[in-house]
């Protein structure tokens, strides 16, 4: 009931602003600053932290934009309230990293009612949801590509990932939040790249670590204590790979220099510390998830909307393999 009231209130406020030409909006226009509302699914996420910092600094350098960035705290109800608040404030555009991709329709409906365009980032809504309105677009990367690159890095190793030489690549999969296509596709396509290369595989362990370093560490520790024949640990992102590396060290599967010994470890994102670990032999490889490219494209799309222009529905930035 409280929620319905809040929604109605937000809509009434938004419509009032539209109908009256908007006192607040007019003042902002007079000052020349356009208002940009940015919703991040969770501030406590290594990759999205780099992303939002780059987004803010790039956009601030392009003109007089009033950018407000809010933390959804991984709670969809909280994020919906934040969107309602932005709408009530009469922002000129929204940039939204959804907590739940499946909630895109709800967010689009609210934004459309107030005629505020939305740039969705990082968590891709379904194609059906993206077809709902011509003032929404998505900026991200094709997660299939990152999974394929992880698998190819392994397939390109001299032993094709078969660290113990028994003819089968036995792996552990530490997944991100499975509601997220990034987690689904990376899990599927990393293994597909191996089987496409004719490599025999066996999944020993697959669990969700929700993109989180501590969970990555705990899951890898559990897997390492249950199985002594793991060839490869695939993590859907680098934060979880950082945790998995700690577990690998604790399990003694490193040499005196901390290099991986008899096991391979893969991540995605190319966080600075992971790129360094790859160079030091502490990780086998990672995949650059280009937060700079993605945040710039997202800002460019937002600015085009504020200028009354249109955007392509899907705007995809490439991943890159990192192996040295």
The reply to whether 237 sits near ligand GAL by the rule CB under 6 A is yes
235, β-bridge pairs: 174
Question: Taking the mean position of all CA atoms in its chain, how far away is CA 220?
Answer: 21
Nearer to ligand GAL, 48 or 154 (CB): 48
Q: Of 42-71, which residues contact ligand GAL (CB under 6 A)?
A: 45, 47-48
For residue 196, the SS3 value is helix
Nearer to ligand GAL, 185 or 264 (CB): 185
DSSP state for residue 108 in the 8-state scheme: H
Please state the length of the chain: 324
Nearer to ligand GAL, 35 or 237 (CB): 237
Whole-number Å distance between alpha carbons of 82 and 94: 11
Whole-number Å distance between alpha carbons of 230 and 162: 9
Nearer to ligand GAL, 31 or 318 (CB): 318
First to last CA, the chain: 56
Beta strands 286-288 and 320-322: pairing type? antiparallel
The reply to whether 79 sits near ligand GAL by the rule CB under 6 A is no
- Token representation of residue 219: 């899951």
Q: Which of 123, 144, 215, 296 binds ligand GAL (CB under 6 A)?
A: 123
The reply to whether 269 sits near ligand GAL by the rule CB under 6 A is yes
Q: 142, 294 in Cβ contact below 8 A?
A: no
- Token representation of residue 294: 């993605």
The reply to whether 182 sits near ligand GAL by the rule CB under 6 A is yes
Region near ligand GAL per CB under 6 A, out of 40-48, 99-107, 160-168, 304-312: 40-48
Closest approach, Cβ 146 to ligand GAL, in A, equals 7
Q: CB neighbours of 30 closer than 8 A, spacing ≥ 6?
A: none
Q: Which of 171, 211, 264, 305 binds ligand GAL (CB under 6 A)?
A: 211
Nearer to ligand GAL, 183 or 224 (CB): 183
How many residues belong to the site for ligand GAL (CB under 6 A)? 14
Region near ligand GAL per CB under 6 A, out of 10-18, 41-49, 58-66, 218-226: 41-49
Give me the helices (H) in 2-117, please: 2-19, 23-31, 46-62, 76-89, 104-113
Closest approach, Cβ 42 to ligand GAL, in A, equals 8
* Residues at the interface with ligand GAL (CB under 6 A): 45, 47-48, 122-123, 176, 180, 182, 211, 237, 239, 268-269, 289
């Amino acid at each position: 009931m409280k929620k319905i009231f809040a929604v109605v209130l937000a809509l009434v406020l938004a419509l009032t602003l539209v109908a009256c030409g908007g006192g607040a909006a007019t003042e902002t226009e007079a000052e020349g600053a356009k208002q940009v509302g940015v919703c991040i699914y969770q501030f406590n996420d290594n990759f999205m932290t780099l992303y939002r910092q780059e987004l803010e600094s790039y956009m601030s350098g392009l003109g007089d934009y009033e950018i407000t960035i809010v933390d959804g705290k991984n709670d969809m109800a909280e994020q919906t309230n934040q969107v309602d608040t932005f709408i009530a404030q009469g922002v000129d555009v929204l940039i939204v990293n959804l907590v739940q991709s499946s909630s895109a329709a709800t967010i689009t409906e609210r934004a459309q009612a107030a005629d505020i365009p939305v740039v969705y980032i990082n968590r891709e809504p379904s194609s059906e949801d993206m077809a709902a309105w011509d003032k929404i677009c998505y900026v991200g990367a094709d997660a299939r590509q990152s999974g394929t690159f992880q698998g190819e890095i392994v397939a390109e190793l001299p032993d094709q990932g078969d660290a113990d030489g028994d003819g089968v690549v036995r792996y552990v999969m530490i997944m991100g939040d499975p509601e997220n296509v990034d987690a689904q596709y990376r899990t599927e396509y990393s293994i597909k790249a191996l089987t496409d290369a004719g490599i025999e595989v066996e999944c020993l362990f697959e669990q969700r670590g929700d993109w989180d370093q501590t969970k990555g560490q705990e899951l890898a520790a559990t897997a390492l204590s249950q199985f002594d024949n793991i060839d490869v640990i695939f993590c859907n992102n680098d934060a979880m790979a950082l945790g998995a590396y700690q577990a690998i060290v604790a399990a003694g599967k490193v040499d005196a220099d901390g290099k991986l010994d008899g096991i391979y470890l893969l991540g995605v994102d190319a966080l600075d510390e992971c790129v360094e670990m790859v160079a030091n032999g502490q990780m086998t490889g990672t995949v650059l998830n280009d937060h700079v490219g993605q945040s710039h494209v997202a800002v460019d799309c937002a600015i085009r909307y504020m200028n009354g222009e249109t955007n392509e529905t899907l705007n995809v930035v490439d991943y890159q393999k990192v192996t040295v």
